[in-house]
Amino acid sequence: MKNIILLVIGLFFVAGAYSQGLNQTILDSIVKESNRTNSNALIIYKNEKIVYENYFNKPIQRIDAMSATKSVVSIAVMLLLENGFIDSLQQPIYTIYPEWNQGNKKKITIQHLLEHSSGLQNVSNAGIEVEIAPDVIKLALSAELENLPGTKFSYNNKACNLLAGIIEETSELKLDEFLDKYLFAPMDIKDYYWRTDPSGNPYAMAGLEILPADFAKIGLLMLKNGKWNGRQLVSEQGVQIMLESSERNKMYGLQWWLAFEDEDYVIDSEFIASISGKTDDKTLRLVEKLNGNYANMNEVVGKAKSIFSMEELQAIGKLFGGLSKNNWKITPNGKMVTYSAIGYLGQYLIIVPEKDIVLVRMIDAENYKTSTTNASLGNLPKLVEKL
């Protein structure tokens, strides 16, 4: 009986999605892929109405948004600004932490932390350094500089965590308490949990455990330019600032990933230098032969197949397969079509503004581990563009 009820509910939502003008073929593909990859939840809104909701016979539960948490923290910083706790996003960190009133650290601003251009020494795997730190705020404050502030995009979990400290120092509320007061309570988001380090600091890089339906509310807030139930929680200007391409990575705003009509993948000396620590010199020499601009990854693969042997292709494939989108040098063309909060394991909050679509896909760690396929659904943002 339970399975019959779930089937009826599923058919109801599919029919509703079709009636809302979604591309049925793309919707079917998204549902199929979400089911195949052992997802916990898939929720789709169209024109502020829920048109698809599926928990794939799993309990409705809070799920760690992983790095998608960063996008929520970006909203928190914007609220910090709009409620007068900081002067601007260009405010130097040393005005809050005086120990940085020295050398080039004096130049680091709040915006640098948000757009990952602080220049602080970076270990890309958070488990090596950040997750085991007794105090992530002190860890960030004590980090050395490896680049001049504002000169290079480097996705930095350690630096990002300092935003939690800034919020507490300026508002006298911890990150989770601040968001509860200024965002979650007004949006009736009650059932959530925020992971902390051993010193009690909420992580800003990840750690927000939230119900998928409540995560969708964050997307609806952004879609409606900061308005919730007729109340302007975040200014329209603030939302637009969060979604402006940063100078050092045009595919990234202030902790939101951006996607455009056309995106050129650029392979040049700068890109090759950025991935030099991820492979051997022989493979890097192969990458040099791919120098140029490509409209998509299929073009990159096509060029590689035309000039490399099978052995060389395997080396290139191993390297490229280990790169995430933020490792690539990508130049956007045309208008922005989606913006997203994206997290490890395949946590997605994707907004398609021109189509009034908000999509949430979430998976918990246990289901990810037991999945027999690649559960991260890396192709999901491109599919959602076509819904």
pLDDT digits (tens, 9 = 90+) for 59-107: 999 999 999 999 999 999 999 999 999 999 999 999 999 999 999 999 9
**What residues form DSSP beta bridges with 45?**
50, 358
* Residue that wins the pLDDT comparison between 12 and 161: 161
Instruction: Label residue 17 by pLDDT band (50, 70, 90).
Output: low
Element (H, E) at 294: strand 292-294
Q: Is the predicted pLDDT of residue 187 greater than 80, yes or no?
A: yes
What is the mean predicted confidence (pLDDT) over 296-323?
90
Residue spans of beta strands (DSSP E) within 198-247: 208-210, 227-228, 231-232
Tell me which of 162-166, 247-251, 287-291, 352-356 is least confident: 247-251
* Residue that wins the pLDDT comparison between 2 and 343: 343
Q: Residue 296's pLDDT is what?
A: 81
Q: Residue 372's pLDDT is what?
A: 59
* Residue that wins the pLDDT comparison between 129 and 201: 201
- Amino acid identity of residue 382, one-letter, is K
Q: Residue 321's pLDDT is what?
A: 81
Q: Residue 219's pLDDT is what?
A: 98
State the average pLDDT for the chain: 91
Instruction: Label residue 2 by pLDDT band (50, 70, 90).
Output: very low
Q: Is the dihedral of CA 243, 190, 135, 138 positive or negative?
A: positive
- Closest by alpha carbon to 272, among 257, 286, 258? 286
